Each structure stands twice: as C-alpha cells, then as structure tokens.
Structure 1
C-alpha cells in the first residue's frame, strides 16, 4: 500500500529530452519564421528610410515663394495703400543680431533647437498630453525648422498633404544647413507684423535701431510678436504684448539664460516705440487703412502673409474727396497749439459705405483710432433714440408736452431719485413740446420721455440701430451717460436718414487674389428696423436743431442743404451727429485723458461737421428728405398743441404719422382749422424755403 501510494502521489517522471524537443518543434518553427519575417521587414524599412533620406539629400529645396505686392483701393479704384513684403525685409548675419533676441526666440519658440534633428519628440509628446487634457489644440510643438519650412515653401492651409510636405522640407533643411544657418534664415524671414520681415527690419520698425543694438527688454517684446502679430503687436494691443514679454522673460530666467533680477528689471522697463509705418504717415486715410487691415485679418480671416506678399487687391468704400474734406475740416477746426483731439466718421446711409474716417489729429504721433473708442459719453446726441422709441411706441407725438423746470424723478419702485439739470440751469419754466425740446436740448423733457416709455425699450431700440456698447436701464440713459463710439452713433443715425432701414456699415467691398478670383464680397446686413413714417417725423424734428434758437444754429449758415442732427455736450466730450439724405456723419471732440472742456472747446464739433458736410457734398445738388407714405402735415397751435385755426396768431407746420395728428381745433379760436391741402403744399416747400433763407443770410 505504501509503495502504491508513493507511486500515485510521488513526482511524475519527466519525458525524454528528444520527445520534448519534438513536441516544441512546431512552435519553434513558427517563432523562427516570425523572426525572419520581422527582421526582413525591419531591414526593408531601414533600407527604404535610407533610400528616402538619400533621395531627400540629393534633392534641392524648392525655391521659396515669390512675393507680390498687395494693394488697397478706394471707391474709385485709386490705390491708397500697397503692401510690399520685399521693401521691409533686410537680411543680416546671425552675429549682427542681438544675443538677447536669439535667446528669447529660442526660449519661447524652440528650447531644444540645438538638440533635435528638426522634430522635437519630447515637445510633441508634451503638447499632445496638454491637448488631450483640454480636449482642444491648446499647445503646439512646431520647431523653428518646421516653421521655417512652412514659411519659405508652403501655405498655411491645414491639410495632410501640406503637413507631409512640411516634414519633408524640414528634414531637407536639417540636411542642407547647419543649426546656426537655419536659425539665421529663420530670424531673417519671420514676420514681426506691420510689414516688417526679419529681425533687422523689425528692430528699425519698432525701435529705430539695428537688430544688434536690441536690449533684453526690447528683444523679449519682439520675440513674442511672431506668434500672432495682430494679438501681440504693441501697436495693436499693448497689454497682450506686455504680458507675452513677461512670459518670455520668466521663461528665460527659468532656463537659467538670464538672472531672475534681470528678467524682473526688463519687465519694468518703459520701451519707446517708433511711429507706426512711414507710408501710412504720409498717405491718405491712415486710420481707415488700419481699420481695413484689421477687418481683413481679424474679421475676414485673410492670412497676414497673404495680405503682405500675396498680390491681393482690397476694394474699399473710401471716397477720396470726402476723406480729404474730413481731414481738412478736422485740421481747420482744431487750433494748432491745442492738445484737444477729434474724430470723424462718415457713412452713406443708403449703402452703409464708410466714405471717410479720421481717428485723430495726427497719425504720426498717435495711431489710436478714436472713431471706435467706446469710452465717450454721447450726451444729448443720444436723445433722438429716446424720442424715436416714444414716437414708434405710440406713447408720444411731436406735440406731447412736459414742463421745462427743475424736476426730481423717482425710480426703482420709489427707492431711488434722479434730479437732472439743464445746461447752465436754463429752463423755460413752462410746458414745451418735442420739437422745442430737441432744438434746445432740454434735459428735463428727455428724462420725462424715458420715464414714460421705459429705459428697457430704449435699449432695445438702440440695439436695432446698431449700438452694441453697454447700456443700463436707468433714467440717466436719456442724457447719454453711457459711453458709445462715434462709429456706433453714425451707424444709428444712418437709420434715421435711410427711412428707418439700418444697413450694416461696410469698409471692404471685395477682396481678390492675384489671379482675380474673389476671396470675399461684402453682403451687408440690411433690416427695416423703424417704420419709414416715424423715421421721417424724427428727421423733421431734428432739422430744428439747425434753425434759429437750435443748438446747431451757429453753423446753419455754413450748410446750404437740408440737414438734421443733434448736438451733445458733457463736461469732457462734445458731439454733433447729423445727416443729409446722402451722408451721415458723427464728429467728436475732447481730450484722451478726459480733461474738462472749456466753452470754446465744446463748440468745435459743430463747425467741423458743417465744413465737412458742405465740402464733401459740394458736387451733389441739395436734396430734401423724402416724405414717405403715412405722414401727414398739419398746422398746429404751439401753445396748446391742437390744430391751428385760420385766425390763430401763431401757427407751426408739423408732421405726424397718419392717425396720430391732433383732431381738436385750438379752443381760443372759433373758426375752422387751416386747410389740409395748404398744409400739405407748405410741407413740400417748407424745407426749400428754409434753405433759401439760409443761403440769403449767408
């Protein structure tokens, strides 16, 4: 039993070696075949790679793309700006470029440049992890060699074929050139914005010095621009440029390239920049051209490189005669020794075409375009939007009355009060109607109106008219206390001039490539946001601004054509926004730092508007504002607001939207009202008679 148990539970006897080998032979044969195939595959791949690399080594790199000048043209086809990529590209040896700029560029663009063979595998892996973590392309890993290949030989389209070509050219660059030669090529061709290609051109463009003379602070600022010239140029956005400069300085310190103290000191250094672009300083409409460049690149997605050297043509809406008239009006309207600034923008309300733009008095010394500054209170020039809301809402008519006297208003369910004042505390101390309120710019009437119609509805109307700036539903909104840009005001008033139809302002009509193919064609948004009858009634009321007693009457003799508009004055800003049937113009004057205006300084906007309007339209015959269907004209008694009787000692011709005109005859006079036919005839001739009187007085 013990022996049997041992045999059953004891160790098993091993098979003979020969038997075991025969058992494993099929598996060994499979493994052997796999090893042979794998080795052969690797050998073939290595041979193919060697042949491919040998092929690339024997091939010449393609010629870099030939630059072509791009052009910007005005409404008549005249060239107003050219983009010559070759004119501002100056190559210098690597030794003539500041070591600070070289190190700053490597620190932010390609830290392992001297260690890799054209592709930074560690950087690619790191970027991939970051992008996966954020589920978007947050970080790239292109080396300087890859960027150079792309910029020299390829477009910036995002396709697999382009990426494959980029990889091939990257390998060839690494084969044909040393690292220093690649770095030199890169620093001599990279785009630094505003037409400057290469470190030497950029150093002269921004600082007026050679690339070899750049300081640490200047170099860190320049090194950050190629990432995105439209975002990191100090001319376009100083905050973005400064933030990126600090990032580069801190990166250099982290890598031990410079001491931390030097990085901190450079970040605090105040840099002095050259005026932007000599060609823009001397040409026509420099602010407009900057705006077109911004629209083409930032809004329409035209590549900076294509714009600078792709031979494209940008057709714009600029009217050269109107632009010259605008520049002359601003120059003549501002004393030479004054630090006061001005802005003017003029739009054809029928098409939305921007005909003229002046963003400041001197582009050479300051390129800030005040036409788009959303930091200025429009003051009383905002009131027509309030009155239009009341008219179209049916809650008021031109003869609605409020008392012009000191008034305290309550709002927010009685918890808050608001007590506005009239200019110089001048009040009629009697009831006035809408025409009188607009002509004299009565603040009490305007606040009464917004309290009746509701500030939320005024904001809704402003949005329809093209105003996008922040507005709050407060009583003070009626007096233009929330900043709005001159551009927005011109756009809004253009709706009044165009019979209530808002046309989106347009600066670029069409963009063509070098072969004439259309890359972009303007299709401005157009919408009838106001009933034509209400737009006309408001226009009729705003014509009174230029009549005797109106706030624009001082310049009425300068304009020999029908015109409507509104002045606006705050402690720091003065405006006149007005229009004819063909042209809507916003003029602002003030100080950049918000200094208070003297009485003389506050009166400079209206003469600029008048001089410009008359000169810009000198070749166009005067035209009345067309009276649309749905408008009736009747004679009213100004005191009562009722229909005027034939024997009334005081009568005024007034326009109403049909159905809103008064029907009751002035109670003090028992006879019949003035004939409706006579009122209609007088309405047609009234504007021309007023213009004749202006001409005669002038």
Structure 2
C-alpha cells in the first residue's frame, strides 16, 4: 500500500530506504485509525523488506518460464511442453514479456517473478493455430517448400489479440514474424480500405473506380506498385459496374469510329467511281 503513489520510485528493490519510510507511514496511519494493534504494527515494522516478489509458484511453473502464466480462462501457459519449448504459446508469451520489459524498464522485476500478468490469450485457439501452421509447413506448393508463415487472430469488437503465432516452429526459430517481419499485405487489405470509404460515405456501390495500375509512394521512401481493384476479374460490384460502364462506353465509341470509317470508305469509293465516269465521258 505504501508504494502505490510511486511504485517505481518506492520499489523495495530500487529504493529500500524509501520503501521502509512508506511502510512505516502506512503502519502508523493504520494504527491511528484502529485497523491494527500496536503489537502487530511493531511486528510488521521489524520485518525486513522482501527480497523477491515470488509467491510460491510450484516448481513446475518456476522452471517453465514467466512467473505469471495463466490465460483469461485460467489455463496455465508456463508449463514446459513435450515439444521442448520453454512454455506454452511461446510466441505470444515472448511478445508479452518483451512489452513488459519496455513498459517496466526493469528486467530485474521480471527475473524475480511474482507478477500476475493478465492477457487476452485464448490458449486453445493459440495451440490449434500453432498446429495448423506446423501441419501446413509439411506440404509443398508446386513441388517447393512453402517457407515460413505467421498468424494473428483478433476479436473485431474489442481488438483483443487471441492468437499470435510468429512462425511454424519456435524451436527452430524464435523470430516473431507476426510482429517483426515487414511484409506488404497485398490485396487482402483492400476490402478494409473500401469498407472505410463506404462507411464514411466517400463512395457508394455505384461509384466508378478505374481498375488500373498505379504507383504508391511510401513514407519511408521508394515506391510500391499496385492495382486499385480487389481482383483483376472485377468480382466486386462497385468495381465491376464502373468497369462495365466504361467498357460499354468504349464499345460505343469504337462502333462510332467504325461507322465513320465505313462511311469514309464508301464516300471514297463513290468519289473514285465518279472520277472514272468523268474520264470515260471525256474520252468519248
């Protein structure tokens, strides 16, 4: 209770003297308020500061990795697995630890353990996703290895990350491709852009969008070529209408040009015939 106003500044691991003063102040106020007896206050004040934040984790969990280790449904994630990885959901847990180190700015706190970390992990879905990626990696595509893969599953309504798999095998590579690898999302991201445009009223289902090759400039420099259409086959109505309408316009234009050309050809033929007729009469 004493370190709540400034947990980092009054941490018993960083500032033991400040932590002792804070504890003495809390004990004094509790004594004056009648919450504790003088004997209990003296007994607690005589105790030394904790050397660890561990709260008696079972040995299996202590060997497993992070000292917290439960998902939202209480599933233990820091138990060593048969596959040899240090804990279950290794990519997810490793990312949580990375963010905790950045948040706390203190590796010592994580090393000593005792923290209770609540995450959005769905362990059953996570392990199923890991299995799917592993099995998919055993097959080939056109006779070649499919290479690496990653998977992230989120709840659309809350944004909660339920699954995060950074590769096919944590034992072979701990590199988290879901968080660290930079890959362009391709056409899979286009529906999100169109949905945002529809939601804001920027476009309607009848809006014409030119299906043409374009070049996008990147903030970090360079260019990224791409296509505006979701599919080159124009399966989206919004795009198909625009494309079909333009196609009809092109066909009408082509027909008009063809008609004019045919008219010109007929006129030229008639002109040649007239000239021949004039020559014939002059000769006679």
Higher relative contact order (CA 8 A, sep 6+): 1
TM-score if structure 2 supplies the norm length? 0.49
TM-score if structure 1 supplies the norm length? 0.22
